[in-house]
Amino acid sequence: MIAAGLDIGGTKIECQVFDAAWTPIARQRCATPDTYPELVSAIADQIAWADAQSGTPLPVGIGAAGVFHPQTDLIIAANLAANNMPMPRDIHAAIGRPISYLNDADAFTMSEAVFGAGCAHRTVAAVILGTGLGGGVCIDKRLAGGPSGLAGEFGHIAAPAHVIANYDLPILPCGCGRDGCFESYLSGPGLQKIAQIIAGLDLTPTNIAQRRTGDMHRVWTAWCAIAAELIQTLTLTIDPDVIVLGGGLSQIDGLANELMHAAQTIQIGTFPHPPVVCAEGGDASGARGAAYAAWQAQTNE
């Protein structure tokens, strides 16, 4: 056994133990506690379980929802009982050794860059389209980070106003406190909001993607046009070799190809966008990416 990874969400904590081939060989789940002391205790218990599986303390990586500030160890997470708490520091104290702590989008990005759809590429950008819009960047199998811990928070870049205006959409507020962020339009709730505004219908994202006639065609076209602008933004700022899609919306049939086509209509001259592909890691991605980050930090590989 080589490392353990924890995937911490608003409803469950899942711990997986990986062998030298990075195959999950043991896993355990528990409900996510509602109080901070119980949350730290539950995570420590999961790590103790992982150590018991291997018979020796393992490198431990944690991927969790929210934003982690690497200088203060404080967490900003609306769906965890850890908001504004130094959870990485407290877990370290509880288990007696350091851990690697990533947000869940970075853990996903690491997994896809090393083991999944981006493994053949040097620079990988990931975009996670779900209840929010997360992201991350890996270069040479290492996460690109900085002092604020905000690298890859693509969802909170402002979407271009001219594209929003082209489809008679309002400037939507974002949960981050700003207005007009990509997340406000491209997340699952954002797509539903576009359908409510343009078509007056309250539908699931899957139903919207399936119903593409009349007003629903305009809904889908508007969403793809805004998504194409995000691809353009990533191309101009990061110039990745590949963009990997994850999250619930990435399961929409043919989405990667549709976004590639939409992006081609706004590319600059003959400079193409990178390929857009769907993730390959499945439900082990978050835990595997976190575990790999911990192993990488310990071995300096």
Stretch 16-41: mean pLDDT, rounded? 95
Residues contacting 86, CB < 8 A, separation 6+: 72, 73, 74, 75
Architecture of the CATH domain 3-108+282-299: 2-Layer Sandwich (3.30)
Stretch 256-282: mean pLDDT, rounded? 92
Phi, psi of 28 (to 5 degrees): -150, 140
Stretch 190-212: mean pLDDT, rounded? 93
At 300 the pLDDT is 79
Q: How many residues does the chain have?
A: 301
Give domain 120-278's CATH superfamily: ATPase, nucleotide binding domain (3.30.420.40)
At 283 the pLDDT is 65
d(C-alpha 223, C-alpha 208), whole Å = 10
pTM of structure: 0.93
**Quick one: DSSP state of residue 68?**
E
Q: Is 273 helix (H, G, I), strand (E, B) or coil?
A: coil
Per-residue pLDDT reduced to its tens digit, 77-130: 878 999 999 999 999 999 999 999 999 999 999 999 999 999 999 999 999 999
Stretch 259-285: mean pLDDT, rounded? 90
Stretch 191-198: mean pLDDT, rounded? 97
Average pLDDT of the chain is 94
Q: Where are the domains of the chain?
A: 3-108+282-299, 120-278
Same fold yes or no, 3-108+282-299 and 120-278: yes
Percent of the chain with pLDDT over 70: 99
Sheet hosting strand 3-8, strand order edge to edge: 24-31, 12-18, 3-8, 60-64, 100-103
- Token reading at 88: 């990485």
d(C-alpha 236, C-alpha 238), whole Å = 6
